[in-house]
Amino acid sequence: MNTPKLIKGLRMPWALTTTSRRTQRSRAKQQRLSAEHGAALATGDALAAKRRAGKKKRTNDAQSKAAVQWHCDRKSPRASRLGYYDPAAPGVLSSTRQMEFSHMAIASPPTSHRGLAFGIDAGSGWMVVHDPFTSYGNELESPNVCFIGDLGQGKSSGIKTWAVLRQLLLGRRVVVIDKKYQLDQNGGEYTSLAQRLGITPVKFMVGGGGARINILDPRIAARLNEDSHDDTALSTPAGQSMLVRAVVEEALGRPLLPKEGKAVRMAHKQALRTAAANNEIAHIRHVLSALYAPDADAATASNLSVEEIRHWGQDPAFELERMIEDDLAGLIDGPTSEEISLNAGLTVFDVSLLPEDGPALAIVMTIINTWLANTLYRQSEAVPTVLVIEEAWHTVQGSVAKVTRRNTKLSRALSLSCMFAFHHISDIPEDSPAIAMLKECGTVLLYKQQKSDDAWACERMFNLPAGSAADIAGLTKGTCMMRIGGKDPFIAIHVRSALEIELTDTDKAMKSTATINQVEADAQEEAA
């Protein structure tokens, strides 16, 4: 190894290790000028001294600049690789107060630029842009969304704008299950919005006069051996068997016994055969008739007697009959109404007239959910669809929760984004399948929770950073804590246009200025 050559190769360039000829000439000139300046002062030539002093200052400035020049003409490639070049520029004298402005922290936007505008970030002022379809695969793995917050904190406004109106602008399909009744509209709160878009809501009401939806609708898969407790085969939405079982269990108020389940399954098969033989569409009354009068051939094929099957299905038949004639009268006891179909844009199912107490509301909402999932499963080309369920706690309790859970797990395969709205996490039973469903939501919007227990429940449920409960409890109306996928949550301020403010106003009744005399006068004019 040739050590001298190696040392010579690593030696710093001449421009940085020796004094240049230019520098030597500058120093000699400086000495000469200093001598002349001294002589001038000695002879009292003040004017010449002043002129030479200015020349000296200019010379010193030139010398300072020459000292920091980059001698690129003598640059050594090897020394450049070793970092011997690029000397630092001269510093600037300043103060901390003057320089703090030039080092301001710049906050990055909380979301990407792709999606639908929601509002602005309360912390940085950046625009909040997010959409479960465009963000899927990048920022989140689940297209489902949940809204949680107290009454009157802006949940409905956020849903109507970001989840409905702005989705329609992109040509997507939106389906709404409207639960909140509005007196001034004699229906759900989406009535005025739907009418503005030229859509007539599909109304359900007990006792007839409204729409009817069939749990044995041909558009719902007629799987006969579907086990509602089997969570392994989730490649298809819930079918007729799961719906029939869920309805009967809701009627009984308890899970079916094994013998009762056998009788119900046989009645379902018999109902389909009987309706097909009569060229009819099977519905729940065909199942009820089969429970009272089991088919002898089917009983023989199962090595059972007709009397045994009738005895096993007696309790389910009694309770199912009571429910059909009472709680669900006119709702599921016939073929599906013709007006129930998926529109190109918005479809509103108005269930606000159904009673809060009893199983009717939960059963109808679950049937609509299942009907939609099966309809999307059969579509030739997937169209992004948004399903909005207001007051979603009705669908996460009892037997119908299993059906909702199964349909929700297939959202990605169906190009479906399910958006649920809850008041509090305490509305959901701890053993409900909906707990896992909420934890899997890719987007979470948490509005104000006045009670500290509810705020703490949100922090624990969604594994938020410590202290998030206090932030949730302190939110103002129209703001929410948004968490997208695994990112850190942030506070978002919802922004609406003038038209959206008009369409999302649900306080018209409270803001009414009408008087009793005025109402009576209007009634007399109408009577005349």
DSSP state for residue 140 in the 8-state scheme: B
Position 225 pLDDT exceeds 70: no
Q: Collapse the DSSP code of 446 into the 3-class scheme (helix H, G, I; strand E, B; otherwise coil) and give the result.
A: strand
The model's confidence at residue 164, banded by pLDDT at 50, 70 and 90, is very high
pLDDT, position 77: 67
What is d(CA 187, CA 191) in angstroms, rounded to the nearest whole number? 7
For residue 483, the cross-strand partners are 444
What is d(CA 271, CA 285) in angstroms, rounded to the nearest whole number? 8
Position 207 pLDDT exceeds 70: yes
How far, in Å, are 152, 331, 492, 505, 518 from residue 498 at the CA level?
Answer: 19, 38, 19, 11, 30
pLDDT, position 186: 81
Position 68 pLDDT exceeds 50: no
Position 357 pLDDT exceeds 90: no
Position 88 pLDDT exceeds 60: no
Structure tokens at 77: 């490639």
Complete DSSP assignment for 172-206: -EEEEEE--EEGGGTEETTHHHHHHTT---EE--T
308-339 pLDDT per residue, tens: 999 999 999 999 898 888 888 888 888 888 88
Question: When comparing pLDDT for 73 and 520, which is higher?
Answer: 520
285-302 pLDDT per residue, tens: 999 999 999 999 888 888
Position 6 pLDDT exceeds 50: no
Position 196 pLDDT exceeds 60: yes
0.85 exceeded by pTM: no
92-134 pLDDT per residue, tens: 677 777 766 665 566 677 878 888 899 999 888 889 999 988 8
pLDDT, position 33: 66
Structure tokens at 139: 């920022």
Position 392 pLDDT exceeds 80: no
pLDDT, position 456: 92
Position 385 pLDDT exceeds 70: yes
DSSP state for residue 108 in the 8-state scheme: P
Position 72 pLDDT exceeds 60: no
pLDDT, position 317: 92
pLDDT, position 472: 93
Question: When comparing pLDDT for 493 and 4, which is higher?
Answer: 493
The proportion of the chain whose per-residue pLDDT surpasses 70, expressed as a percent, equals 75
The model's confidence at residue 232, banded by pLDDT at 50, 70 and 90, is very low
Position 36 pLDDT exceeds 90: no
| Closest to 273 (Cα-Cα) out of 301, 314, 313, 251 | 301
Compute the half-sphere exposure of residue 179: CA atoms within 13 Å on the CB side of its CA: 20
pLDDT, position 318: 92
How far, in Å, are 365, 422, 423, 440 from residue 393 at the CA level?
Answer: 11, 6, 9, 16
Q: Average model confidence (pLDDT) for the chain? A: 79
* CB environment 216-238: b (16+ within 10 A), e (fewer): bbebbbbeeebebeeeeeeeebb
The β-bridge relationship of strands 490-494 and 127-130 is unpaired
The model's confidence at residue 70, banded by pLDDT at 50, 70 and 90, is very low
| Closest to 151 (Cα-Cα) out of 451, 509, 511, 498 | 451
Structure tokens at 318: 């009694």
What is d(CA 503, CA 500) in angstroms, rounded to the nearest whole number? 5
237-252 pLDDT per residue, tens: 888 888 888 889 888 8
Dihedral, CA of residue 275, residue 279, residue 283 and residue 284, to nearest 10: -30
Which of 55-64, 66-75, 219-228, 233-242 has the weakest average pLDDT?
66-75
Contact 394, 426 (CB under 8 A): no
pLDDT, position 483: 92
pLDDT, position 512: 56
The model's confidence at residue 14, banded by pLDDT at 50, 70 and 90, is very low
432-489 pLDDT per residue, tens: 777 877 888 889 999 999 988 899 989 988 889 998 999 999 999 999 999 998 888 9
